Amino acid sequence: MQLIANLAVGGSWPGAPDSSTAFPAYMDIDYIRAWTRADPTAPIPSAAPTGLAIVPGDSQASLSWTPFLGAASYDVKRATTDFGPYTTIASSVTATNYADTGLSNGTTYYYVVSAVTPGGEGADSSQASTTPNAGMVPTRESVADAYVRDGSYLNSNYGTDTGLLVKSDATSYNRDSYLRFDVSGLANATNVKVRLIPISVGATANAATLSFRFVPNNSWTETGITWSNRPASTDVIANITGFQSGVPVDVDITAWVRSQAAADGFFSIRVTSTTYGGDGFVMFGSREQTLAPANRPVLLIVSSGSSSSVPLAPTNLAAMAGNAQVSLSWNTSAGATDYNVKRAAVNGGPYTTIASPTTTAYTDSSVTNGTTYYYVVSATNAGGESANSTQASAVPTAGNAPAVPTGVTALGADSRVSLSWTASSGAASYT
């Protein structure tokens, strides 16, 4: 890098300086400062970020929005009154999501986001608001979701799509969406809502009516469901009219969740349109929304019977195979009093609870070598049971190293130390 300093010496002459004018023999420079300057030739963005969505939590709010073309960063602004004035709480945010922590539960907060380009800061996005609640569990996302399509596509699967499309139109253009949630431990919940975020809507979606219907059959799979094998729906939970991109849609499903929590622990819902016309389509974010996680479907839960909030799902579940055993470990879930260890013989469940330890480790000794086992763990307390952790699997074999011995004790004596420990299953000898 080359730096050219254009310097001038102050003073005054009764005219232009000449060869007789005295100049300083030297000059001291304290420092030279360099910084990034907005490109004066770059236009300031006239548009604003779209799709601002918020998921509330305990003393926090998780924001996400659609990436803005050309943005170098974003400014996040917050207010405690509707439509401001706003205060910038985060600047130079390079991601399209932001977690605002340290909030007061029960207070409504209002947010906007602006994009910053080399030309400067653009306009604020549309406002979104949320109210944090100590009893809410925003992390209970859908465990499966997909849309299905009729006509020529009746055997096609769209389970990996980032959107859940709903539309009533001519043959081959109809779409219904299905979602399934883990509702185990929510038999005593006082209020449960499913929140969906529209990420794209048709020109007439504001006048469209979507029907949210209970699906009693939970055996469908995300990567297997099609129009031809889709499960039937029964009860109409709600009919909702008017949809806008980025504006959350909340549907009260409390009664059905309580019933399913006492049954198989899963709740499925179908979303279908009762308004004919291609321009009335609505696309909600699916659980595959990796760039904008706040657009994923989520349950908003308030648990009853205790002042304790339901703990979050355990993280970092690890499974280590041994000889006729699998050793499990996971991170502590804040507020949990114990854990439910669940096992399945097929990928993705259904799972059966095999133990309820109070520690963050468990050894499953009721396994057969050569068989693959799938595990999840949930956390519980007086407020209820969390969602399941992410799945871990292991295949025990006779050739695997035995588990680390436990209970090692040392007893000192004259010129010797006597050691003892708990036997490790499958160990032939010890070193």
Domains: count for the chain: 3
DSSP 8-state assignment for residue 333: P
DSSP class of residue 169 equals -
Domain assignment of residue 246, yes or no: yes
Spatial contact of 343 and 364, defined as CB atoms under 8 Å apart: yes
What is d(CA 192, CA 213) in angstroms, rounded to the nearest whole number?
Answer: 15
Q: How far apart are CA 23 and CA 16, in angstroms?
A: 13
Residue 256, class by beta-carbon neighbours within 10 Å (0-12 exposed, 13-18 middle, 19+ buried)? buried
Residues 75 and 104 in one domain: yes
Q: 94 with 67: CB under 8 angstroms?
A: no
What is d(CA 286, CA 199) in angstroms, rounded to the nearest whole number? Answer: 10
For residue range 105-143, list pLDDT tens digits in order. 889 999 999 999 888 899 999 998 888 876 655 457 899
> Which of these three, 303, 327, 344, is where a domain ends?
303
Q: What is the pLDDT of residue 295?
A: 87
Mean pLDDT over each residue of the chain, to the nearest integer: 84
C-alpha–C-alpha distance, residues 97 and 292, integer Å: 7
C-alpha dihedral, 15 to 20 to 25 to 30, nearest 10°: 10
Residues 121 and 157 in one domain: no
Confirm whether 68 is domain-assigned: yes
> Does residue 261 share a domain with residue 162?
yes
Convert 17-46 to b/e letters by CB count within 10 Å (16 or more is b): eeeeeeeeeeeeeeeeeeeeeeeeeeeebe
DSSP for residue 341: E
| Cβ atoms within 10 Å of 322's Cβ, excluding its own | 25
Kindly tell me the sign of the dihedral angle through the C-alpha atoms of 225, 226, 229, 233: positive
Same domain, 338 and 252: no
In a domain, 162, yes or no: yes
Q: What is the DSSP string of 372-387?
A: -EEEEEEEEETTEE--
Structural domain contains residue 295: yes
- How many percent of the chain have pLDDT more than 70? 82
Tell me how many degrees the CA angle 50-53-55 measures, rounded to the nearest 5.
170
Please list, in sequence order, all residues whose beta carbon lies within 8 angstroms of the beta carbon of residue 250, skipping any fewer than 6 positions away: 193, 194, 195, 300
244 within a domain of the structure (yes/no): yes
On whether the CB atoms of residues 397 and 383 are closer than 8 A, the answer is: no
pLDDT band at 144 (very low <50, low <70, confident <90, very high): very high
- Range of the structural domain that residue 59 is part of: 53-130
Q: Give the domain CATH number at 113.
A: 2.60.40.10
The residue among 127 and 43 whose pLDDT is bigger is 127
- Asked if residue 388 and residue 265 are part of one domain, the reply reads no
Same domain flag for 243 and 126 = no
Q: Are 284 and 238 in contact (CB under 8 A)?
A: no
* pLDDT level of residue 1 (50, 70, 90 thresholds): low
Does residue 347 register a pLDDT over 90? no
Closest C-alpha among 51, 91, 98, 92 to residue 72: 92
Of 382, 380, 376, 345, the residue nearest 362 (C-alpha): 376
Say whether both 249 and 371 belong to one domain. Answer: no
Coil/strand/helix, residue 27: coil
Residues 203 and 92 in one domain: no
Q: Which backbone phi and psi does 151 adopt, to 5 degrees? A: 65, -130
- CATH code, domain carrying 262: 2.60.120
Whether residue 338 sits in one domain with residue 372: yes
362 belongs to a structural domain: yes
Q: With 70 as the cut, is the pLDDT of residue 26 above it?
A: no
297 prior amide bond cis, ω within 30: no
Residues 182 and 293 in one domain: yes
What is the distance of C-alpha 98 from the center of its chain? Answer: 12
Q: Residue 109 forms beta bridges with which residues?
A: 130
Alpha-carbon span 48 to 74, nearest angstrom = 10
Q: Which residue has the tokens 């055993």?
A: 325
User: How deeply is 252 buried, as exposed, middle or buried, from its count of CB atoms within 10 A (0-12, 13-18, 19+)?
Assistant: middle
Does residue 424 sit within a domain?
A: no
Asked if residue 153 lies in contact with residue 71, where contact means CB atoms within 8 angstroms, the answer is: no
pTM greater than the 0.75 cutoff: no
Query: 118 and 182: one domain?
Result: no
Q: What is the mean pLDDT of residues 372-389?
A: 83
- For residue range 239-250, list pLDDT tens digits in order: 999 898 888 899
Q: Quick check: helix, strand or coil at residue 258?
A: helix
Query: Does 307 score more than 60 pLDDT?
Result: no
* Cβ 101 vs Cβ 60: under 8 Å: yes
| Residue length of the chain | 431
Please tell me the predicted confidence (pLDDT) of residue 222: 95
Q: Give pLDDT, residue 221.
A: 95
Report the run of H or E that residue 101 belongs to, with start and end: strand 97-101
Question: Looking at the domain assignment, is residue 364 inside a domain?
Answer: yes
List the end-to-end C-alpha distance of the chain, in Å, as a whole number. 61
Residues 6 or more apart from 304 whose CB is under 8 A from it?
Answer: 188, 189, 190
Domain end call among 303, 335, 361: 303
Dist CA 359 CA 332 (whole Å)? 8
Across the range 85-98, mean pLDDT stands at 89
Together in a domain, 207 and 279: yes
Strands 236-241 and 209-215: antiparallel
Which pLDDT band holds residue 306 (cuts at 50, 70, 90)?
A: very low
Q: Could you say which of 247, 268, 303 is where a domain stops?
A: 303
